[in-house]
Amino acid sequence: MTTDGSEATDGGEATDGGEATDDGETADSGETAAYADLGATTEDAMAIAETSMDRVHELVPQETPTDRLRAKAVHATGDPEFAHLLRFANDPVAAGAEAVLDERPIVTDITMVKSGVTGRGHDCEVRKAIGNGTELAAETGMTRTAASVLELDERGVYEGAIAVVGNAPTAALALADCIEQGTRPAVVVATPVGFVKAAESRERIREVAEAHGVAAVTNVGRRGGSGVAAGLTNELVHAASDVRNGETTLEALRGDGP
């Protein structure tokens, strides 16, 4: 990871709103390519990306819609064990793909997650929560990320949105409170990382998602982070592109059936 809020690639270059490949190339907001994660733009980069995903699919066979997300988590982390850590509620692949097709906003907790979300394959506004809620944080002493989520929710930003939390457990806890109080994101991707409140915050998201019928992707344990959150979000974009191109349907993306 880089220190300026962007995400680094294996080649050492950072992305700027597009997803990078192993050779460090980034994608801008140009035309959609038929490629595993909508990132590569050159012949060599596409070959690397396709080979990488082929190897991931050997580890994570594609038998159900959620296997797409399991594979993407492994691809994003380089850790085959991550496939066993994800948890799903209420058909998140179909819900996320539909939200992308409907051009719903993608709202991340921090800059680093926003920087990792691809700029290709969709026309969704991508925005971050952090930077909002400054006065609320100062008045209450709550974290800036929690305050930023609460302020955006007051404005109705999370209603019908793709809500992504990759870093801050307190942002996930605040989002869970918003859902409990009536906000309905189209889908939640929550993988905050750390030793304090991270696992608990994801458990809280799972509880409110199940209770209120909200689609969600989370993980168990201490692992997580911005890279996997951005990768999972990008896979929802890829699923939407597959629907748009006639390669699958929203109905086929529901449940854990093939």
pLDDT of residue 257: 36
What is the predicted pLDDT for the residue at 39?
Answer: 64
The model carries a pTM of 0.83
Residues near 47 by beta carbon (within 8 Å), at least 6 away in sequence: none
Residue 134 in any domain: the answer is yes
**How many Å apart are CA 181 and CA 164, to the nearest integer?**
18
Q: Is 34 helix (H, G, I), strand (E, B) or coil?
A: coil
Go through 182-195 and write b for each residue having 16 or more CB atoms within 10 A of its CB, e for each that does not.
Answer: ebebbbbbbbbbee
Residue-number span of the structural domain to which 195 is assigned: 43-253
Enter the tokens of residue 255: 């449940």
Strand order, beta sheet including 187-190: 86-89, 215-219, 187-190, 162-165, 106-108, 126-128
Cα–Cα dist 76/86, whole Å: 13
Asked whether residue 77 is domain-assigned, the answer is yes
Q: Does some domain include residue 20?
A: no
- For residue 174, tell me if it sits in a domain: yes
Determine contact, residues 168/193, Cβ cutoff 8 Å: no
From the list 48, 1, 2, 3, the residue with the least C-alpha distance to 23 is 48
Examine residue 34 and state whether it is found in any structural domain, yes or no: no
Question: Would you give the distance in Å from CA 48 to the centre of its chain?
Answer: 22
Q: Which residues are 218's β-sheet partners?
A: 87, 190
**Is residue 3 assigned to a domain?**
no
- pLDDT score of 29: 36
Q: List residues bridging with 41 in a β-sheet.
A: none
Alpha carbon distance 163, 195 (integer Å)? 22
pLDDT score of 48 = 86
Side chain identity, residue 83:
A
Eight-class DSSP state of 130: B
Residue 229 belongs to a domain with what CATH number? Answer: 3.40.50.10230
Q: Is residue 7 part of a domain?
A: no
| Residue 75 annotated among the catalytic residues of the structure | yes
pLDDT tens, residue order, the chain (258 aa) = 333 333 333 333 333 333 333 333 333 333 333 444 456 778 888 888 888 888 998 889 999 999 999 999 999 999 999 999 999 999 999 999 999 999 999 999 999 999 999 999 999 999 999 999 999 999 999 999 999 999 999 999 999 999 999 999 999 999 999 999 999 999 999 999 989 999 999 999 999 999 999 999 999 998 999 999 999 999 999 999 999 999 999 999 997 633
Q: What's residue 167's pLDDT?
A: 96
Q: How many domains does the chain have?
A: 1
Phi, psi (deg, nearest 5) at residue 36: -55, -40
Nearest residue to 240 via CA among 202, 187, 183, 164: 187
Active-site residue identified among 57, 75, 122, 212: 75
Query: 105 and 124 in contact (C-beta within 8 Å)?
Result: yes
Would 132 be classed as within a structural domain? yes
